[in-house]
Amino acid sequence: MKHCINKSEQSSNRVLKAGIGYTIGNYLLKGLSFFTIPLFTRLLTTQDYGKYSVFLSYEDIVFVLIGFAIHSSYKNARYKYGLCSEGTKKGKDYYAYVSATICLILCSAACWLLAVNLFSKPLENLLQVDQICLNLLVLYAFGSAIMTCYNTDAGLDYKYQKFIKISGINAVLNILLSLILILLIFPKNGYIGRVLGSTTAVVIVAISIVVEFFHRSKPSRDSALLKWGIKYSAPIIPHGLSQIVLNQFDRIMIMKMETEAKAGIYSFAYNIYALVQVTAGSLDNVWGPWFYQKRKDDEINAIKKYSGYYAFFMMLFSSAIIFISPELIKLLGNKSYWDAIYCVIPIVAGGYFSFLYTIPSSVEYYHGKTQYIASGTALAAVMNIGMNYIFIRRYGYIAAAYTTLATYFLYFLFHYLIAIKIEGKNLFSNNVMVGCTLGILVAVALGNVLINYVGIRILLVLLLIAIALIYEEKEIGIIKHREEVKKNEQ
């Protein structure tokens, strides 16, 4: 019995350690970007910043198409195929499957490079980018797809150190190469320097990852493995594209309907949203594998309990970001970007609902019901385009921030209802989800009302921190547990 408890505690500690490791590592990486934001906003005009942001929006679209969203199959493939050490025949195991998916992405990227050069003229007119940037777009998307596969693979075994290492190299190279190119080669066309620096960095990292995967295992020759992966991931492609509409299409619409400068200001607000996105993404690397294991073991009470903690603490964190977001905007950008203050509050709140979606979507991924994932996200995306078209024309680009909040809420709600339908029951707490929804909306209202009252907003942040610490020690007791472990060791 004691052995089982120790084993359970070790597993919990491993998950907790990985969650903290991913979060701290991501913040260190994001810190590199944050320190350079004031530099890039001074080296790039709002027009150049807008063009670079729109380039990244296009890249997100091409990333989904090149990568087939094949990384989404890794969690299920790990349980389906197993490892050679677990008795699986070599060449039919999970590692061989991963290498086969990398071959798929390499072939896909080659086809896309051929296509953008054969049809460069119509694509240039449609996207308003030149042929060189079209090629860079494909290469950047290829590198992103390979890095996403690597990070998903590392997350299955909670190997956050590998994630931090590879992401850190990419971040440092991205910044250094971009600065060198902007300052020394493209001083009058900073947009090109930024794009070329970012693309070169991610391609270098991607090549090293491909070599590592192929060294670990040769690609499987069993076509059935890859056919299963494509069948599993194919419905995720429209889901991924719909997510991009939710995440990025508003910037493209602002550029088309208003100006590149306003697209740049609006995009700048997403640097604050990234604090929520990075935290949620870090924790999801742990939540996903943890949920799979608990659902496999039918530990429903544990899922309901910890998903509630997860949602509540992220609500407190997102609310705190809302209250300090105006000061962060002023700190990171010069006065030409300060109008982003009026966009950032609803954008951060939308980011919370984007995070909240990952809780019920785990049910859809676990059961392989990827067609439901695509339909729910596509519906929210269509509504986002429609609302943007109506409200940007009527109220200007700031309206896009509020349509983003509305559609992300619907996005979460659709997937929450779909998860209940798939399971035939609710694995999560309705009371917690409703409470967290009301909590973040109250934060949005207070953030707007108190936008000119810095002192009151700082007090609210301190209050949220106090609530988080008190609740954590009462319900979970991480600090108390660590102190008890230290006493027992002594």
pLDDT in tens, 43-56: 887 778 777 877 88
Is-contact 262 254, C-beta < 8 A?
yes
Task: Supply 37's token pair.
Answer: 């934001």
Q: Is the model's pLDDT at 231 over the cut of 80?
A: yes
**Torsion-angle region of 222 (φ positive above 0: left; ψ -120 to 50: alpha; else: beta):** beta
- Write down the pLDDT at residue 3: 45
> d(Cα 101, Cα 228) in Å, to the nearest integer?
11
Average pLDDT on 425-444 reads: 94
Q: Where are the domains of the chain?
A: 34-233, 235-490
pTM: 0.69
> d(Cα 408, Cα 239) in Å, to the nearest integer?
14
Burial of 483 (0-12, 13-18, 19+ CB in 10 A): exposed
> d(Cα 422, Cα 76) in Å, to the nearest integer?
17
Dihedral of CA atoms 259, 261, 264, 269 in degrees, nearest 10, equals -100
Compute the chain's Rg from CA coordinates. Answer: 23
Sequence-ordered list of residues with C-beta below 8 angstroms from that of 357, at least 6 positions apart, any chain: 408, 411, 412, 415
- Distance linking the first and last C-alpha atoms of the chain: 23
Helices (H), 221-259: 223-233, 236-247, 249-257
- Output the CA–CA distances (angstroms, integers) from residue 28 to 21, 140, 282, 375, in the order listed: 10, 23, 12, 36
Task: Supply 441's token pair.
Answer: 């909306």
Packing angle of the helix pair 74-81, 341-366 (nearest 10 deg): 20
According to the per-residue pLDDT averaged within each range, which of 187-196, 446-455, 474-483 is highest? 446-455
- Exposure string over 122-142, b if 16+ CB within 10 A, otherwise e: ebeeebebeeebbbbbbbbbb
Which uninterrupted H or E stretch holds 106?
helix 94-118
Could you tell me the pLDDT band of residue 434, with boundaries at 50, 70 and 90? very high
Comparing 490 with 71, the larger pLDDT belongs to 71
Amino acid letter, 331: L
Is-contact 68 230, C-beta < 8 A?
yes
DSSP secondary structure code for residue 70 in this structure? G
Is-contact 436 353, C-beta < 8 A?
no
- Output the CA–CA distances (angstroms, integers) from residue 363 to 303, 352, 358, 466, in the order listed: 11, 19, 9, 33
- Write down the pLDDT at residue 4: 43
Is-contact 227 362, C-beta < 8 A?
no
> d(Cα 89, Cα 103) in Å, to the nearest integer?
20
Residue 180 CB neighbour total at 10 angstroms: 13
The mean pLDDT value of the chain amounts to 84
Sequence-ordered list of residues with C-beta below 8 angstroms from that of 465, at least 6 positions apart, any chain: 320
Average pLDDT on 216-236 reads: 89
Is-contact 136 178, C-beta < 8 A?
no
Amino acid letter, 341: I
Comparing 372 with 414, the larger pLDDT belongs to 414
Average pLDDT on 336-340 reads: 82
Task: Supply 131's token pair.
Answer: 């042929």
Is-contact 340 265, C-beta < 8 A?
yes
- Write down the pLDDT at residue 7: 46
> d(Cα 276, Cα 354) in Å, to the nearest integer?
9
Q: Is the model's pLDDT at 210 over the cut of 50?
A: yes
Sequence-ordered list of residues with C-beta below 8 angstroms from that of 342, at least 6 positions apart, any chain: 398, 401
